[in-house]
Chains A and B, each alone.
Chain A
Amino acid sequence: MTIAIRAEHLSKKYRIGAAQQKFQYGMLRDVLTDTITAPVRWAKAMARRSDNPQLPTEKNFIWALKDVSFDLEEGQVLGIVGRNGAGKSTLLKVLSRVTEPTVGTVTVRGRVGSLLEVGTGFHPELTGRENIFLNGAVLGMKRAEIERKFDEIVDFSEVGQFIDTPVKRYSSGMYLRLAFAVAAHLEPEILVVDEVLAVGDAEFQRKCLGKMGDVAQQGRTVLFVSHNMSAILRLTQEAIVLKKGQLIKRAPTQEAVDFYLSSGLAETGERLWGAEDIPVTAAPFKPIALRVKDRSGKVVDTVRSTEPVTIEWEYKLEAPVTGLRVGMYLNTMRAEYVFTAFDTDDAKQFEQFGARQAGHYFSRCTIPADFFNEGRYSLGVNASSFAVRRYFMDDNALSFNVDITGAPGTQWPEVRQGPVRPRLNWQIEKVE
């Protein structure tokens, strides 16, 4: 087999902290004053012999990728997992030549196309037809190639009758379908997919996954980044795990995913509120933390749909509050409500806790097993006294993943519509 991608000691350094704040969206004035005062600071630092944060030191840098080496054979489908900031996106950016590595080399055989670029170069004022040509050119397609595939792209996008309408009049779903259709017909030797499945409706997601499967079957190489472990399991044979820019595991997907989920690498599943995050109007209510916990009480980002999940909100009351209800909204990532619930929904509970003394509280609830469907869900929080006052609200406080391994119907590798996936008590009765 030929090697499609060979990455050797790939590292990428970014400036952060004081240096970054100063220079990233820098103004000439800052740089001028900085340049003028630099010798003074330098002299002071030398005199004090201390670490001056203004001087470039290793502390001011972060290695988004650190010594990452791997080979990928042609036709392989590789999953990339890791929490936010682990370097997944940076790796894809280096591979698709958007940004240069600081150290190391990559040898890429063939054209890299990526689905993280859907709609890049789209102009709202142009029609669907015009945008297909423009976007195709942006993605590196020749005009003749676009013309050849034009009808296929239009069919795939299902926007046929609106093809001569400016895309600013499109619904977001149509826009996305058209954008994806162009990217999907790029036919690169190497396809890079980053979280594209987080958007679009279920039908569209199914199409995307189907297209990815086709691409893999045609013997092309695919790199797939997702927070959705079941999608990774379904679509890839092998996966790598990134942690703080380093490649810490490469194994068959099941093994890599187990390692990732069990090693505590997954997203924290916890939201903390600092003093600066809380508006003064919230007093005397003071949120501390919101956590998602698995059956064993561990804070996790990914929960299994086959196990109960505990949601815990920790907060303080700095004065007694009457009529208080503390609760949450559960949403899908497409902002559909799944449910809203408060800790004093139960009348008896409200009698007992409606008036609460000042103090430190936890409000916990358990969502039963076999409730969630796969995907990512978002939690919003709300603390209020009905019709009196809303103390605190955060529509999107925390999000978490649901892994559906073992859930009802998973013997069929298909996307099930709907935000819930209950285990129903089916009776099958045969009538003579």
Chain B
Amino acid sequence: MAIQTVSHEPTTVYIKPSKGLATLHLRDLWTYRELVFFMIWRDIKVRYKQTMLGAAWAIIQPVMTMLVFNFIFNGVAKVSSDGVPYPIFSYTALLPWGLFVAALNNASRSLTSNSNMVTKIYFPRLVLPVASVLSGLVDFAISFVILILLMFYYKVTPAWNVLWALPLFLLLAIVAALGVALWLSAINVKYRDVNYALPFLTQFWLFATPVAYSASVISPKWRLLYSLNPMAGVVNGFRWALLGAGSGPDAALWVSVGISLLVLVSGLFYFRGMEKTFADTI
């Protein structure tokens, strides 16, 4: 479908059945960038409405998880944390992980919970999952403040490369989350099984990601296979950039990047392909 622009000279739109492999029409999304912005704004505005603690939840959730991890993995199981104090070691990983999980949870439901929009008006459907993923950045920023406090407390000073490395690893987390989110949201339109499968999926994924433990416990011969999980690359990257832990970018990181891009591009095509049936099947 052609793009729609708002101008005084009416634009002509041709509506016809799309054939073959769907084209991505990412310009469409650009045209509707204000809608993306408004959807993010709406998500943020209503997220903690009618809660007593409000945005404090963005801090409570990762901090409580960190405390539990600290008790079990540090206190009881005594896992290695690469010479970094365990609380900050796990909290650094919980930030991108929380972003990722929230993105999957919100985005997978983004189409079905806005079904009245999908069935009534035209707009690039990509707006919904994209906005859900990006709106998680606000929670990320709030919980990041705690990380800074922890770094002061434990006197951890990041190297200068944090300035370029952290944004890139954050971008990688978003790419990975968006890719998976596109798949899940499109599948969820037709098969609501996604709602039920997602808690298990994220739970298993957590174990497959070095959040509670260090990636260094994985034996070198499995490292490459292990890095097929893009979140492994993200978490290692966060620890390296912020805490100087681990070995820094290596071949495994490129595997993570490659997989993330592959999932994102295939997700975009799948989403576009399914998009035309959304209004009929939702």
A-side residues, CB < 8 A to B, are 14, 23-29, 31, 93-112, 114, 116-117, 120-121, 123, 125-126, 130, 133-134, 137-143, 145, 189
Chain A residues lying within 8 Å of B32, measured Cβ to Cβ, are 140
Distance of A156 Cα from B1 Cα, bound (Å): 34
- Report which residue of A100, A104, A123, A189 has the largest number of chain B beta carbons within 10 angstroms of its beta carbon: A100
Of A101, A108, A116, A120, which contacts B117 at CB under 8 A? A120
- Report which residue of B32, B42, B121 has the largest number of chain A beta carbons within 10 angstroms of its beta carbon: B121
Given A97-B1, A111-B10, A133-B38, A126-B121 contact (CB < 8 Å)? no
Within the complex, the shortest CB–CB distance from A94 to chain B, in Å, comes to: 7
B276 adjacent to A99 (CB under 8 Å): yes
Of A96, A100, A110, A138, which contacts B276 at CB under 8 A? A100
Within the complex, the shortest CB–CB distance from A312 to chain B, in Å, comes to: 37
B35 adjacent to A137 (CB under 8 Å): yes
A138 adjacent to B13 (CB under 8 Å): no
Within the complex, the shortest CB–CB distance from A146 to chain B, in Å, comes to: 10
B4 adjacent to A111 (CB under 8 Å): yes
A138 adjacent to B123 (CB under 8 Å): yes
Q: Is B61 an interface residue (CB 8 A)?
A: no
- How many residue pairs link A and B with beta carbons under 8 A? The number is 120
B123 adjacent to A140 (CB under 8 Å): yes
B15 adjacent to A138 (CB under 8 Å): no
B120 adjacent to A97 (CB under 8 Å): no
B121 adjacent to A108 (CB under 8 Å): no
Within the complex, the shortest CB–CB distance from B187 to chain A, in Å, comes to: 9
Closest Cβ neighbor of A103 among chain B residues: B17
Within the complex, the shortest CB–CB distance from A199 to chain B, in Å, comes to: 15
Q: Is B12 an interface residue (CB 8 A)?
A: yes
Within the complex, the shortest CB–CB distance from A284 to chain B, in Å, comes to: 43
Closest Cβ neighbor of B45 among chain A residues: A126
Closest Cβ neighbor of A90 among chain B residues: B280
Within the complex, the shortest CB–CB distance from A419 to chain B, in Å, comes to: 30
Distance of A28 Cα from B280 Cα, bound (Å): 18
Chain A residues lying within 8 Å of B123, measured Cβ to Cβ, are 138, 140
Given A126-B45, A137-B34, A121-B117 contact (CB < 8 Å)? yes
B16 adjacent to A105 (CB under 8 Å): yes
Distance of A367 Cα from B69 Cα, bound (Å): 76
B45 adjacent to A130 (CB under 8 Å): yes
A28 adjacent to B193 (CB under 8 Å): yes
Chain B residues lying within 8 Å of A141, measured Cβ to Cβ, are 6
Distance of A143 Cα from B33 Cα, bound (Å): 11
Closest Cβ neighbor of B5 among chain A residues: A111
Within the complex, the shortest CB–CB distance from A245 to chain B, in Å, comes to: 15
A26 adjacent to B190 (CB under 8 Å): yes
A99 adjacent to B11 (CB under 8 Å): no
Within the complex, the shortest CB–CB distance from B247 to chain A, in Å, comes to: 40
A101 adjacent to B279 (CB under 8 Å): no
Distance of A422 Cα from B124 Cα, bound (Å): 51
A120 adjacent to B116 (CB under 8 Å): yes
What 1/0 flags go to B99-123 for Cβ under 8 Å of A?
Answer: 0000000000000001011111111
Chain B residues lying within 8 Å of A105, measured Cβ to Cβ, are 14-16
Closest Cβ neighbor of B114 among chain A residues: A121
Distance of A98 Cα from B42 Cα, bound (Å): 22
What 1/0 flags go to B157-193 for Cβ under 8 Å of A?
Answer: 0000000000000000000000000000000001111
Distance of A139 Cα from B14 Cα, bound (Å): 19
Within the complex, the shortest CB–CB distance from B237 to chain A, in Å, comes to: 34
B10 adjacent to A27 (CB under 8 Å): no
Given A27-B193, A117-B121, A138-B38, A107-B276 contact (CB < 8 Å)? no
Chain B residues lying within 8 Å of A140, measured Cβ to Cβ, are 4, 6, 32, 35, 123
Q: Is B50 an interface residue (CB 8 A)?
A: yes
Distance of A54 Cα from B64 Cα, bound (Å): 52
Closest Cβ neighbor of B275 among chain A residues: A100
Q: Is B203 an interface residue (CB 8 A)?
A: no
Q: Is B281 an interface residue (CB 8 A)?
A: yes
**Top 8 closest pairs, chain A to chain B, by CB:** A110-B10, A97-B122, A137-B38, A106-B15, A105-B16, A125-B49, A99-B279, A100-B276
Of A28, A101, A133, which contacts B16 at CB under 8 A? A101
Within the complex, the shortest CB–CB distance from A194 to chain B, in Å, comes to: 10
A28 adjacent to B117 (CB under 8 Å): no
Q: Which residues 42-68 in B have Cβ within 8 Å of A in the complex?
A: 42, 45-46, 49-50
Chain A residues lying within 8 Å of B116, measured Cβ to Cβ, are 120-121
Given A96-B122, A116-B120, A142-B17 contact (CB < 8 Å)? no
Within the complex, the shortest CB–CB distance from B9 to chain A, in Å, comes to: 9
Chain A residues lying within 8 Å of B120, measured Cβ to Cβ, are 98, 114, 116-117, 120
